[in-house]
Each structure stands twice: as structure tokens, then as C-alpha cells.
């Protein structure tokens, strides 16, 4: 009967294998629990004191611009001489003033450190409003650089849709700046119970270049609610997005600049750009924001219904 038991006083190969696997799991548990994770708020505050090196704006812009070969002047020179292309310098001058107005509004029109602090608080409030509370701890924004440049358009070309005879304008846009954001938070692990452990994360994200084609559709006189529509490409391969990230993950043991984290951030930002790739400008006196929102929702419902019918037809064929 003794041979029927798994454990006996005389060690066997099976017992050694089981004990070895169990001991490895125990060691891994304590390594992750006490080196990378934190379990209490006090430990979390201590862990988040380690901030990643803030990317200096000038260094980022110089490095990425030299690698990509982009400057506002070279972009205009490269694209401004095409057949049928027109200059958009006047539009760039207006757009620079518009972006500067938004920057000043975000800072409550205050210069220096006071304006920086107001902008930081507003970005922090927005980030915590958007975060998933069951997955991420409250986000602390340490610094925000709103940049100083604005998107620049060039190579404006008129396009005509043969099927509807409607006209639109295609432009190329390049945005080169030193926008950066430095934050810290913690990722929550809810297994085997809620808030079982927290993985502290400190992160700095810097944007140096965004480049894409933009389609500008003027309002149709026959539309019920006319709007001006700006549309970005529908594929992530059709635009350039250069981001630089620095990161620190862990409590006592630090994992610096994890490549997978950088890939995840870039993927999520690209996805957000594609999801929000169409902007409609409401024209005063011709439509209201509520009417345009209802039109967009109606279009989404019709598109989803059409896709549902298509999937149903495919299943019927099979």
C-alpha cells in the first residue's frame, strides 16, 4: 500500500520533480511580489519616486529629425513643386495662431512655471477621467511640454470624384515639435483577489514627427447639415508617427525601456488616430453640434447594419 502513495520516506524521481517545480513557483512568486510589485500605498509612493529621465526637447527633436530627414522647409520644398500643387503658407500662418491660442488657453494665459503647473493639472485631470479604474491606479502627471510649433500643410491638390462629381482638396501635413508628457502610475493585478499587487510604471512619451495626407471635403449645398470634413488615411501604414519613450517598471528591481511597452504605446496611439481619423467642422447657422453628432451616429448604425447583412450573406453561402 505504501507504494500507492505519492510521497514516501524514500525520495523518488516523481517526488523530486514535483518538489522542484513547486519550489521554482514559490521562488518566482516572491521575486515578483517583493522585487517588482508593491502591495501597499506607502510602498507604491516610494516606488514612484524613481522617475525616468525626462527627454530634453531639443535633443529629441534634433535626433529624430536627423534620422527621419524631416524639417518644415524640406517638407514644403519636397512637396510644393508637384504638378497642380498650390501653396498653403497662408493656411499655416492661420493654423499657428490657432494652436498658440489653444496653448495659452490651456495655461490660463499665464507665462512661465505658473502656466506650466495649470496645464499639468488639467492634463492630469483628463488622464484620470479617461483611465480604467479597475486596471490602473490614479495617474500622476509630473511634467507637460505643449510644444511651440503647429501642423504645416503643403502640396494642396484638387480632387474630383467621378462617381458623384464632388470636389475635395488633398493636402500633406507634417507636424514636427517637442511635445512630451511624463507620468507615473501603477498597473493593478486583480488575481487571486482584487488589487492583489501593483506594478509601478513611470513613463515619458515624446512626439517628434507626425506626417500624413489629409483630405478636406467642403460642405455639400444639398446636405441636410453641411459640414467641412477632414479625413486622415484609413490605414496605419499611410502615415508616419515618430514617438520616443523612456520607461521604468517595478518596485525595487527596475526594468528600463521595455521594448514591448513602447510597441504597445505606439500601437494604441495609432489605433486612436485611426478611430478618430475624421473630424467635422460645424458651420454656424447651417447646423448644430447635436445635429451633426446625430448624423454621425446614424451613419455608424447604418454601416454596422450593412456589415451585419454582409456577414449573414457570407454564412448563408457557406
**pLDDT tens string 200-227:** 889 999 998 999 999 988 888 888 888 8
3-state secondary structure of 206: strand
For 6, 8, 11, 62, 315, the CA distances from 3, given in Å and listed in that order, are 8, 8, 12, 73, 57
Asked whether residue 20 is domain-assigned, the answer is: no
| Pairing verdict, β 197-217 and 140-145 | unpaired
What does the radius of gyration of the chain's CA atoms come to, in whole angstroms? 27
Say what the pLDDT of residue 13 is: 64
Does a structural domain hold residue 29?
Answer: no
Residue 244 lies in a domain: yes
On whether the CB atoms of residues 192 and 32 are closer than 8 A, the answer is no
Cell 526637447 belongs to: 57
- Domain annotation covers residue 26: no
Q: Examine residue 150 and state whether it is found in any structural domain, yes or no.
A: yes
- 94 in any annotated domain: yes
**140-145/167-189 β-pairing:** antiparallel
pLDDT for residue 10: 60
- Whether 3 maps to a domain, the answer reads no
Which tens digits make up the pLDDT trace of 72-108?
Answer: 445 444 444 455 567 788 889 999 999 999 999 999 9
Burial status of residue 253 (CB atoms within 10 A of its CB: 0-12, 13-18, 19 or more): exposed
Is position 220 within any domain? yes
SS3 assignment for 62-93: HHHHHHHCCCHHHHHHHHCCCCCCECCHHHHH
Residue 305's pLDDT is 74
Q: Which residues of the chain have pLDDT under 70?
A: 1-11, 13, 15-17, 19-20, 22-85, 164, 193, 195, 252-253, 307-318
Q: Domain count of the chain?
A: 1
Give the per-residue pLDDT at 180: 93
Dist CA 186 CA 246 (whole Å): 16
- What is the rounded CA–CA span in Å between residue 50 and residue 32? 18
Measured distance CA(259)–CA(246) in Å, rounded: 10
Q: What's the predicted TM-score (pTM) here?
A: 0.66
**Strand partners for 157:** 170
Q: What is the pLDDT of residue 121?
A: 94
| Residue range of the domain that includes 259 | 88-309
Amino acid at each position: 500500500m505504501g507504494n500507492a502513495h505519492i510521497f514516501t520516506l524514500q525520495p523518488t524521481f516523481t517526488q523530486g520533480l514535483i518538489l522542484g517545480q513547486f519550489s521554482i513557483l514559490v521562488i518566482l512568486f516572491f521575486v515578483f511580489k517583493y522585487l517588482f510589485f508593491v502591495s501597499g500605498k506607502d510602498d507604491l509612493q516610494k516606488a514612484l519616486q524613481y522617475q525616468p529621465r525626462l527627454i530634453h526637447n531639443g535633443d529629441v527633436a534634433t535626433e529624430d529629425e536627423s534620422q527621419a530627414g524631416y524639417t518644415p522647409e524640406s517638407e514644403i520644398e519636397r512637396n510644393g513643386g508637384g504638378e497642380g500643387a498650390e501653396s498653403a503658407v497662408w493656411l499655416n500662418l492661420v493654423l499657428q495662431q490657432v494652436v498658440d491660442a489653444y496653448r495659452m488657453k490651456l495655461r490660463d494665459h499665464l507665462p512661465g512655471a505658473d502656466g506650466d503647473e495649470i496645464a499639468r493639472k488639467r492634463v492630469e485631470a483628463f488622464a484620470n477621467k479617461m483611465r480604467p479604474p479597475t486596471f490602473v491606479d490614479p495617474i500622476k502627471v509630473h511634467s507637460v511640454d505643449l510644444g511651440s510649433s503647429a501642423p504645416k500643410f503643403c502640396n494642396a491638390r484638387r480632387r474630383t470624384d467621378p462617381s458623384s462629381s464632388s470636389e475635395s482638396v488633398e493636402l500633406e501635413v507634417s507636424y514636427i515639435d517637442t511635445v512630451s508628457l511624463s507620468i507615473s502610475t501603477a498597473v493593478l493585478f486583480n488575481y487571486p483577489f482584487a488589487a492583489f499587487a501593483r506594478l509601478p510604471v513611470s513613463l515619458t512619451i515624446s512626439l517628434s514627427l507626425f506626417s500624413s495626407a489629409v483630405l478636406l471635403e467642403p460642405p455639400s449645398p444639398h446636405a441636410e447639415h453641411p459640414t467641412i470634413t477632414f479625413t486622415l488615411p484609413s490605414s496605419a501604414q499611410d502615415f508616419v508617427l515618430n514617438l520616443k519613450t523612456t520607461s521604468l517598471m517595478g518596485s525595487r528591481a527596475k526594468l528600463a525601456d521595455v521594448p514591448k511597452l513602447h510597441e504597445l504605446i505606439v500601437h494604441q496611439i495609432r489605433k486612436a488616430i485611426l478611430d478618430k481619423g475624421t473630424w467635422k467642422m460645424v458651420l454656424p447657422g447651417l447646423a448644430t453640434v447635436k445635429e451633426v453628432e446625430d448624423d454621425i451616429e446614424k451613419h455608424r448604425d447604418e454601416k454596422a447594419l450593412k456589415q451585419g447583412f454582409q456577414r449573414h450573406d457570407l454564412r448563408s453561402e457557406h
